[in-house]
Structure 1
Amino acid sequence: MEAFNFATSLDLDELSVHVRIDRLDGYQKPVPYSVLLKRPDLRHRASILNPHFELYATAQIWADSKPLTVPVQTAYKAFKNARIWNEWLALPVTYSNLPANAQIAITVWDLSSLEDTDSNLHAVPFGGTTIPLFDKDNTLHKGRQRCRIHRFKAADGLANTTTPWVIPPARKSRNAQVVEDTVDEQVAEMERLEALLKKQEMGDLPINHWLDGLVYKKMMKIRNEALKAEAAALNRQSKADGTDGDDQELFYLDIELPRFDHAVVFTDVEYPPPPISDLRLPAEADFRLRPPPEVSFGPGIDIDGIAYGSASAGRLIKIYDPEIGRRVNPAEDKHRELMRSQQTDSLDRDRKPNVHVRDKLNLLLSKGPIEEITSHERDDIWKFRYFLLRDKRALTKFVKCVNWKNPREARQAAPLLDKWAEIDVDDALELLGPHFDHPVVRSYAVERLKKADDEELQLYLLQLVQALKYDSGDDSSLARFLVTRAANSFTLGNFFHWYLMVEISDYSTDQEAQHRELFAKVEYDFMVELESTPEGVETRSVFRRQGELLTVLAKMSKDIRFGGGDRTAKLARLKKAISDPKNELVSFDPLPLPLDPSVHITGIHTTDANVLKSSLLPIVLSFKTSTGERYPIIFKTGDDLRQDQLVIQIITLMDRLLLRENLHLRLTPYRILATSSAAGAFQFIPSLSIAAACNQYGSILSYLRTTNPDPNADLGVKRETMDTYIKSCAGYCVITYLLGVGDRHLDNLLIGPGGHFFHVDFGYILGRDPKPFAPAMKLCKEMVEGMGGKGSEGYARFKSLSYTAFCALRKSSSLILNLFSLMQGANIPDIKGRGGDAGADGGGDAGQGVAFIRERLWLGRSEEEVVRMWEALVEESLGDWKAGVIDWAHEFVQTYWRR
């Protein structure tokens, strides 16, 4: 089957509809003198005075029996021997905006010195025709078209038009013997020649100029004779049917439509679904107050294949109200604007809330960053804005209650930002989110970030890079701030550079081109800023050398992955590539490691290289460092590590938050860096999976007794090691629960020789899991047995630590939610798949991913409720038999594939 190439009508978004009015052909009988005596007005018609007198044509687009455009007219032109315009008309509508039932209504106008009583113009319709722009297959008509002219009628353009361009053949009547069975031979010959001419114009037949000229003259003669013959045949048929005894005049209008290289098929615009109402429906009891209305439906009305008049039809009519989905009532908007315009600053400065209003304000300020603020609450905040200046929690709420698109409100609100109590960093991050696009608000948030040190700024750098997408305009205060700080700190600049490079290299369909251009511009500004610093030239050279090293590692990884041979052959090929002098990997000048710029590497140990058994065949490399130590990493291609990078960043942040609460839970947030959208590296931590530890030593406790024995301890394990194990188990159980980490099995739960327990492989987060019936928290019996069993002192301490850690992280819920909110626009699978559109008013719906984190934090619950719920969650996770079945099934599959 041959390929069929076509374009859609939406592709022609900048091309207006054109039509060429070519010529008018037909047979016109002279008007008898007796008729002129009865109709004196006919004496002044141009076509009657002279068969070649000037006429003009108008074209107009119609659809659904309504005009879509104003009519477009040809120029006045004096004809000599034939009525030939040969003029292109441009209609004021593009092809992309045409509906499928669009038609061109073309009317030829006859001039008359007498004014027409219907149109009040000095023109009467000579005839009209209506041609659809799309055929029955929804394909755009193109090329030459021959349209039937209906005499003395203006083209109507209606759905059931009375002036069709082609008249369908009539059914044979009883008097069909009087009429010829077929059209005259001359008419058939004319149609055949016109079909050949159209093929030649479309390029299907070769052109021969001297011969084509002779054929064209002959065609004109045959056409004139055929028109007379066709008119005579129509008159004979009319007389035979007894419908009309008068002679009919037959005219055709030749037009030409634009030609395209491919067929153009109509395609409608995919409009977004109607907004879902945010109004709360009445309770079911409210509906019982009155019965639903009885609705009767007319015959022939059909919906969803069920006639309304039938007994099985529904009783309610569904009507879409476009105002239902509005988040803000326009009447309330206008009322608020009028009220605020009447309020004066002098009165508002002295206004103080009473006890009842103060309690309402305190309750309002306790709301989280993604909770909706009602219109009445907005009014209260604005009314008592001067009273709230001393409360830093109120600033983000105040920003939300201001209509920043209103210049008057913006002028009133902007000076108050500098007078407000200094906000925390988490609130500043909220003001950089997608809900706030006013430059004044974002500049204020940047000023607060300037007070953070480089170490704290690095914790949020991943989100701040994504926040660049939400800046409006070319002059971004956030971009200037990040460029300046990164240029003056090598560590910060190292991560800033690679975060930008990953986004620039992302050419997937989910990354918009404008965002790639934005990140490329920021990277360019960063390089220019580096040139102005004392060590900027050297820093640029370091970034270039890092890029060269990562390019070589990516090429090696791809060769190992896609090259032939078994794992032994691949390992030999890897070691050969490292030893190859062309790659310059065995020894080189000290270079800051992109993964950890505090470590300077000088080469790679060839003997320590390895190829893992994973499906993507990642390679293990051991770098030489300037201090003489080894720094092992795992480099992988074919996988986007940005999601793992985000999870490790959040774990690092949560570890810091817990340390502020004097909770050192011995977490292991290993280093990870995505170097492109399909490659990256992460730190290799010497460890053993829980599955391997249990297979080799029988249990985790036996493993700990072997690696860290202490005969005097209760469980035969050093106290420090057991303490590390219990604390790290508690920390990771809480964090993976909050993040909804999925696909947890005994192969991605690891334990180090010092008792450090940690998770790896974060391909599923925010509640996604490839396995059914996955538990909310991964707490298996193997982990608890390592603490000494369910009734042991270690297990009780684990529960206490996990609850304390959970409550500590709940205190920083705003910071965690704001960080995930800033990542909503990132091209990260699980965040992108669960993201949501933000409201335009500043409150808006948070993404589903942010809502998931909020739900896991149990915000709004009292301390007593949290204690009971956490106790139940831990016990449920430990006693979940489905989790044990999943671990057994995973182990079985892995064993089967190893064979």
Structure 2
Amino acid sequence: MEAFHFATTTDLSELSVHVKIDRLDGHQKPIPYSVLLKRPDLRHRASNTNPHSELYVTAQIWADSKPLTVEVQTAYKSFKNARIWGEWLPLPITYASLPVSAQVAITVWDLSPAEDKDSDRHAIPFGGTTIPLFDKDNTLQKGRQRCRIHRFKAADGLSNTTTRWVIPPERKGRNDAPQEHAVDEQITEMQRLEELLKKQEMGDIPENPWLDKLVFRKMEKIKDKAIEAEHTAMNRRKSQSNGINGHVGHDAEDDIFYLDIELPRFDHSIVFTDMEYLPPPVSDIKLLSDSEIRLRPPPEVSFGPGIGTDDAEAGRLIRIYDPEIGRRANPAEDKHRELMRSQQTDSLDRDRKPNVHVRDKLFALLNRGPLDEITTQERDEIWKFRYFLSSRKRALTKFVKCVNWHNEREARQAAPMLDKWAEIDVDDALELLGPQFDHPVVRSYAVERLKKADDDELQLYLLQLVQALKYEASGDRDDSSLARFLVTRAANSLALGNFLFWYLVVEVSDSSSDQAPEHRELFAKVEYDFMTELEKTPEGKEIRRTFRRQVELLTVLAQLSKEVRYGGGDRLAKIARLKKALADPKNDLTNFDPLPLPLDPSVMINGVYPEDCNVLKSSLLPMVLNFRTMANTKYPIIFKTGDDLRQDQLVIQIITLMDQLLKKENLDLKLTPYRILATSAFTGAFQFIPSMSLAAALQKHKGSLLAYLRANNPDDTALLGVRKEAMDTYIKSCAGYSVITYLLGVGDRHLDNLLISPSGAFFHVDFGYILGRDPKPYAPQMKIAPQMIEGMGGPEHPNYMAFKEYCFTAWSTLRKSSNLILNLFALMKEANIPDIKVEREGSVRKVEQRMWLGKSEGDAGREFEKLIEESVNDRMAGVIDAAHDWMQWLKK
């Protein structure tokens, strides 16, 4: 196919529509004297007294039976030999604004002051025509057009217009007179010549000046003869018809006239394109994802009684969209708040104190969680008593939420208050780095608070702080206070620098569609700034070399893991191949210069024990490696390829944080937050803890965990034959992990991913399902297997009561730190983590629901104890475990 070059109407956004009124051709039948005697007013019409009388033309754009513009009129012109205007009329509308149904209604007006009674025109319609601006292919018409004039009618411009510019030819019969066929031939010849003339004007036919003059004269004669022949034939048909009906007289259709107009020419065809308008700025709520739309369908309404109740329409549902319900704030209320706050003065507000009722409401408001909405009235009260609340650190986040930071006047009033406020805690500072706070003043204030945290505390939140970089305003990302803070602190701390480096590497390497390109560029820039900042420190070059060596080490391990996974042979052959590769001198793994372990930079390693390795029985065949430390001890890790460990990394980070929170309250539940690090979007490593799954322990010790504990920690003097420290560790760790996995909604729990170490420490692994997701139906909310209770001595033993007390104490303690936990999850909403991507907005809510923040301590305690009892006695959990064991047996 040949290339078709065209432009769209939207490209002509500044060009107004023009039409050229060229000339009027036609034949007018003289009015008989008998008619003039009956109608003396006809003698005052200019066209009846002179065949070249003065006429003027108006043009107007119509669409869908409605006028789009006012009329535009030609200038006065006196005619001598022919009615020729040759005038371009500009219409007050651009081509980009035209709908596809647009048409030009053109009316020729005849001067007749005697007949003018109702208007100030002093004229009557000589005739009208309506021509569409787009043809049937939605292409803009251009060049010369010959329009049929409908006598004594003003152009109506309607969709089904009665003044069409082209009258379709009548169907001819076999018995039509030869004169009719001759007329048709003359009209066809006239139309053919008009088309050729249009092609020459468009440049398709070359010009020949001396020959064109002769052709034009001949064309004028042919055109006049064709119009006269058409007029004669029409009168003949009228006479035949009138002879039958008995009517003879002057009819409006006895006259035939054509108006030649010209439309602008363009180098290419102009195709209609509807202008795509952006959604109206009514809703300021983020659009829902597909998964959220499935969970929360749009509203549906049905017809009311007596409306559309026909059989075909009965019960039909209509989906409607009201954009105003999508606004977080009312524009009228926003304007009211702006006016009210502009009238208030700081001098009056400083001394303002709330009454007892308002004070109690404000204090209750401060105790709400970070996800609770604040009403308009509450926002006004917080602003009104901001000086009174400034001594309470928990009130700052509420104050920041009640300010419209996009209003310059309001932001100028609120910004100085931040420095006068009582110093906030870290959990509130993290909230101010969330997606709803993009003003640089607010985020800089939060960063200033984080600067007072030590490196160990900062390391607990580093994963979320890296994700918080996504929420920087797009215009401020090049000068982000948070990015500068992270880069500066990490450059002066090997531990922070190690984890910041790997967190950034993973985000930059994530080329999936769920990672926005601008975010990859952002993380790459921060990584570059980090490397640049390292160069300024005394040991910066050496640290950069260390990071490079870590990358090389993990690259070699990733390559070995792929060879083991995709290489042939059974598991024993794969282990032998792995040992050989580890011992190969070209891989340089047995002995190398001391290097900080990426999982734990406080541990220096200098080699791998080739003989002490293993390949686990798993679909991805992860490798178990033992690194040699500088103290000649072994540090075992598991290295895996083909799996994204960022979700497991998040869960372990939260478990580590919760362990720290519990220990601050003097509650050590003997948790085992092993080290884990994602090194790319599909590789990672985690610390190997010598342990055994509950399934394996039960199989080895004839279905008794108590027997396992006795075998590893015997004590004949103890009540159950288990050393007291080991039993205490077992009870506490069971309680801690039961509560934590419940809060995080960890799913797919079975006896193969519940582990126990010889010291009695119980812990969970494999966090492929979190936030309430579970591949198995009817799974319990809290995983407490009967075998776990048996290891404590049974449900009647005092150890079980201690277990329940530890559970409630742990849950109550973590519930007090709900703000910190919820803010950390809120910062991870845009992270490329599978179970968060399912429902980004609802992920934080799911954690909040499991804390029961709306209930009092007493009511929540009773509900939680009931939950423990239901989980212990859940028979469906036993069925699920049995089904899992059966499936594992089939795989062997």
Q: Same fold (TM over 0.5)?
A: yes
Structure 2 residue aligned with 1:897: 891
Does the CA-based 8 Å contact 1:142-1:259 persist in structure 2?
no
Counterpart residue type for residue 398 of structure 1 = F
Counterpart-to-counterpart distance in 1, 2:673 and 2:398: 34
Aligned residue for 1:393, secondary structure, equals helix
Query: 1:648 deviation in Å?
Result: 0.9
1:810 deviates by 0.6
Distance 1:358 1:571, change over 3 A: same
| Aligned pairs (5 A) from 1:654-665 | 654-665=658-669
Contact 1:147 1:166 in 2 (8 A): no
**1:314: how far off?**
6.8
Is 1:523–2:530 an aligned residue pair? no
CA distance in 2, matches of 1:579, 1:232: 107
Query: Do residues 588 (structure 1) and 588 (structure 2) align?
Result: no
Residue matched to 1:383: 384
Deviations 1:56-104 (A, max 9, x none): x999896795759999x9xxxxxxxx9999xxx999677xxx99x6345
> What secondary structure is seen at the aligned counterpart in 1 of 2:627?
strand
**What whole-Å deviation, never above 9, does each CA across 1:272-301 have from its counterpart, x for those lacking one?**
999699xxxxxxxxxxxxxx998765xxxx
Residue in 1 that maps onto 2:770: 765
Q: Tell me if the contact between 1:740 and 1:776 (Cα under 8 Å) persists in the aligned partners.
A: yes
Alignment of 1:216-615 (within 5 A): 244-247=253-256, 249=258, 307=308, 313=314, 322-472=323-473, 473-474=475-476, 475-563=479-567, 566-615=570-619
Question: 1:303 aligns to what?
Answer: none
**Is 1:648 the counterpart of 2:652 in the alignment?**
yes
1:27-84 deviation line (CA, Å, top 9, x unaligned) = 955789999852759556799xxxxxxxxx999896795759999x9xxxxxxxx999
Match of 2:729 in 1: 724
C-alpha distance in structure 2 between counterparts of 1:579 and 1:185, whole Å: 100
1:638 maps to which of 635, 642, 652: 642
What is the CA–CA distance in structure 1 between the aligned matches of 2:779 and 2:108, rounded to whole Å?
81
Cα distance in 2 for partners of 1:858, 1:187 equals 87
Once the 2 structures are TM-superposed, how far is the Cα of residue 874 of structure 1 from its aligned partner? 0.6
Distance 1:257 1:577 in 2: 72
One of 852, 868, 877 as aligned partner of 2:862: 868
Per the alignment, do residues 759 and 416 of structure 1 end up closer, same or farther by CA in structure 2, a change over 3 Å counting? Answer: same
Q: Deviations over 1:238-285 (max 9, x none)?
A: 986979554464979798888799x999897896999699xxxxxxxx
How far apart, CA to CA, are the structure 1 residues paired with 2:673 and 2:830? Answer: 24
Counterpart AA for 1:689: S
Give how far 1:17 is off: 10
Instruction: Verify the 8 A CA contact 1:634 1:681 in the aligned structure 2.
Output: yes
- Of the structure 1 ranges 390-399 and 246-255, higher mean CA displacement relative to structure 2 is found in 246-255
CA distance in 2, matches of 1:506, 1:8: 41
The answer to whether structure 1 residue 678 and structure 2 residue 676 are counterparts is no
Instruction: Check the 8 A contact 1:69/1:91 in 2, yes or no.
Output: no
What residue in structure 2 maps to residue 130 of structure 1? 132
DSSP 3-state at the match of 1:725: helix
Q: Does 1:852 align with 2:853?
A: no
SS in 2 for 1:676: coil
Quickly say closer, same or farther: Cα 1:317–1:209, change in 2 above 3 A.
closer
Residue 885 of structure 1: aligned partner: 879
Structure 1 pair 726–443 and aligned structure 2 pair: CA distance change class (3 A): same
Cα–Cα, structure 1 residues 703 and 14, in superposed 2: closer, same or farther, change >3 Å? farther
Aligned-partner Cα distance in 2 for 1:59–1:571:
87
Q: SS of the residue aligned with 1:616? A: coil
| Equivalent residue letter for 1:874 | I
Q: Which amino acid letter does the alignment assign opposite residue 441 of structure 2?
A: V
User: Any idea what the Cα deviations from partners look like across 1:638-683, whole Å, max 9, x if unmatched?
Assistant: 3222211111111110000000111111111111112222222222
Name the SS for the 1:789 alignment partner: coil
Q: Which amino acid in 1 is paired with 2:48?
A: K
Which sections of structure 2, spanning at least 5 residues, go unmatched? 32-44, 75-83, 207-211, 242-251, 286-301
| Residue pair 2:144, 2:260 contacting (<8 A) in 1 also | no
Asked if structure 1 preserves the Cα contact closer than 8 Å seen for 2:141 and 2:263, the reply is no
- Alignment correspondent of 1:783: 788
* Aligned pair partner of 1:618 in 618, 622, 646: 622
Bigger drift between 35-44 and 104-113 goes to 104-113
Instruction: Work out the CA distance in 1 between the residues paired with 2:823 and 2:681.
Output: 24
State the distance in 2 between where 1:142 and 1:23 align.
Answer: 15
Structure 2 CA distance for aligned equivalents of residues 188 and 708 of structure 1: 113
- Structure-1 separation of matches of 2:562 and 2:171: 75
Q: Give the partner amino acid of 2:810.
A: A
Matched letter for residue 484 of structure 1? T
Moved more, 424-433 or 518-527: 518-527
Equivalent AA in structure 1 for residue 131 of structure 2: T
Distance 1:163 1:389 in 2: 76
**Deviation readout 1:173-201 (Å, 9 max, x if unpaired):** 9999678899979979999xx99x99xx9
> 1:341 offset after TM fit, Å?
2.7
Q: 3-state DSSP class of the match of 2:611?
A: strand
Contact 2:715 2:723 in 1 (8 A): yes
Question: 1:534 corresponds to which letter in structure 2?
Answer: P
Give the number of the structure whose alpha-carbon radius of gyration is greater: 2
CA distance in structure 2 between the aligned counterparts of 1:70 and 1:737, rounded to whole angstroms? 74
Residue matched to 1:52: none
Q: Residue 597 of structure 1: SS of its match in structure 2?
A: strand
**SS state at 1:769 partner:** coil
Distance (Å, rounded) in 2 between the aligned partners of 1:157 and 1:622: 87
How far has the Cα of 1:449 moved from its partner? 0.7
In 1, distance between residues paired with 2:648 and 2:5? Answer: 41
Deviations 1:758-790 (A, max 9, x none): 111212111111221111111111211121211
Count of matched residue pairs: 821
Specify whether residues 294 and 896 from structure 1 end up closer, same or farther in structure 2 by C-alpha distance, changes over 3 A only. Answer: closer
The residue identity in structure 1 corresponding to 2:828 is: M
Residue in structure 2 matched with residue 800 of structure 1 by the alignment: 805
Deviation at 1:530, TM superposition (A): 1.2
Give the residue type in structure 1 aligned to 2:768.
G
CA shift for structure 1 position 698: 2.2
TM-score, length-scaled by structure 2: 0.77
CA contact (8 A) 1:45 1:110 kept: yes
Counterpart for residue 213 of structure 1: none
Share of identical aligned residues, percent?
Answer: 56
Comparing 726-735 with 680-689, greater Cα deviation is found at 680-689
- Cα shift readout 1:560-589 (whole Å, capped 9, x = no counterpart): 444555545544544454444444333322
Instruction: Give the counterpart letter for 1:712 in structure 2.
Output: T
How far 1:718 sits from its partner (Å)? 2.1
CA distance in 2, matches of 1:863, 1:502: 41
**1:894 is paired with a residue of what secondary structure?**
helix
Cα 1:637–1:20 change in 2 (3 A) is: farther
Secondary structure in structure 2 of the residue aligned to 1:404: coil
CA contact (8 A) 2:60 2:104 kept: yes
- Structure 1 stretch 510-519 or stretch 329-338: which is displaced more? 329-338
* Mapped partners of 2:525, 2:638: distance in 1: 31
> Alignment partner of 1:621: what SS?
strand
Over the aligned positions, Cα root-mean-square deviation in angstroms equals 5.5
Alignment of 1:11-50 (within 5 A): 38=48, 43=53
What's the offset of the Cα at 1:873? 0.3
**Structure 1 residues 796 and 16: CA distance shift in structure 2, 3 A:** same
The alpha-carbon distance between structure 1 residues 773 and 14, as it changes in their structure 2 partners (threshold 3 A), is farther
**Alpha-carbon distance change, 662 to 790 in structure 1, aligned in 2, over 3 angstroms:** same
AA partner of residue 502 (structure 1): V
